[in-house]
Structure 1
Amino acid sequence: MSESSKGTLYVVATPIGNLDDLSPRAAKVLGEVALIAAEDTRHTSRLLRHLGLERPMLSLHEHNEERRVDQLGARLDAGDDVALVSDAGTPLICDPGFVLVRALRERGARIVPIPGPCALVAGLCAAGLPTDRFLFVGFLPARSGPRRARLDALCERDETLVFYESPHRIRDTLVDIAASFFDRRVVLARELTKTFETFLDGTASDLLARMEEDPDQTRGEFVLMVAGAPPREDETTTVDGVALLSALLDEGVGVKQAASVATKLLGGRKKSWYAQALSLKDDG
């Protein structure tokens, strides 16, 4: 069989809320493919009904993706075009599809992206944070200990940080962000493109206070964006910085806590303050 007679896998972005965001090209592809591989066929059925379409579907999610590779590869080899969709947004972005796309590309399959909605891009473009460089982290660990460790490892990154978070963990995550990032600017995008779309802007502590005042702000799906670390300066060599660390250490404050206080009051990198505090303690 020639390459031209084989089918194509279309990776199709679908709406994250507002169904009008589906592109005409995406609708056309969904109406013409022989099969749609969907994260949840029930969810995709609602989109197809909205479009007035009926197409054969096959579930493809994190628990069966590896088993679907040979099956979908055979469909492509037989000349069938297949669309890959997730429940919302662009497939593979914190959604299933990577295993399939990687395996099929290694086999030489033709894979075509049909771009469209993506929650992280939608959140970034309206947040007012720098977008020339950003780091998409995805979902943080569910438990506080590993989550704090992950956040502490990211606190010196100078690009905008982007996370996804769920409603039942958003408060706990903001508590940990406040502990790791102090008064760093945070923008929280909620229910993007939907009726109750909201952007909250402030420190993590500010956002927690808003949620206490209005519990509705904890509902929905979230894109959580944190400003990058400020430019590196020689703050640890200043007299004021050294004096502050020395005074804290003299009062019995631990090295880690002293570094945290210096970071909050004087800015700069917590790692640098920690090294300076440790040196002062050793010299003392």
Structure 2
Amino acid sequence: MKAFFDKYKYILGLGLALVAVVIIAVVSAAMGKDAAENSGISYVTPETSSFTTVENLVATTAFQTDGNSQTTPATTVTDTSSQTLPESEKPKTTAITSVASTSSTAADISKPTEKHVFTSAPTSSASPASSKVTTVSTASSVISTTPKPDKPIKKYDNTCTFVIECKTILNNKDKLKKGLEKYVPDDAVIFSGTVGFDSGESVYDILRRICDENSIQMEASYTPAFSSYYVEGINNLYEFDCGQGSGWMYSVNGVFPNYGCSSYKPVNNDKIAFRYTCELGYDL
């Protein structure tokens, strides 16, 4: 019996190593299935499996003999095997890797990998299997506005005092057309102040600029025969709105010129006034 063992001990050692590898692989698969069932993850048992040996079995035997004694051969077996499945049969949610050796009795089973849930496209590498990554991107729009530069203040060559008023209407409200009371200020003064003008400008030019800058309604008509503008209405008060002799008249330094305001060229420090009359100027 001893002679038989000595003769075939190398073959028996290899056979035992292969049997140990098969047993460990079966135990690893069974433990992986149990772990998957306990964790609530479905486990798909492959119909067929194969074992791929990464490193061949290496047996090294050392003999030392001297006459009457014979040492027991020392055998070292290194084996790393993994269970590989066809691509179509691999489980999508469970990955099991078993590493077996002749010196170990248990298999390492990696934890199942959870699916990551993304609310938007991830911008970094995958997170660990036990964590869930949720990325929410928020777009914010910033609207920058550049304030418009103020218009430069124009410097004029001359100044004058300018008044627009309709005080005569306060004494003739019974003649005023209905609905026009709202255009008559309480003090009957529509505008009053000192304004600038350039040499060569007419009284009409100054009046037009004042109304434009102060949002005062004004309407005038041009008469080609006299090359002059006639002011029909200011602040929605027109001629004949307060009697047959009502309308607008202008004066410069208390004098009423007998020609149109677009033909009169005032000088520095003049006093210009546009007044509403109800009696052809006799009430001014």
Is TM-score (shorter-chain normalized) higher than 0.5? Answer: no
Q: TM-score range by the shorter chain?
A: under 0.3
Looking at secondary structure, tell me which structure has more helix per residue: 1
Higher relative contact order (CA 8 A, sep 6+): 1
Q: TM-score scaled by structure 2?
A: 0.17
Q: TM-score scaled by structure 1?
A: 0.17
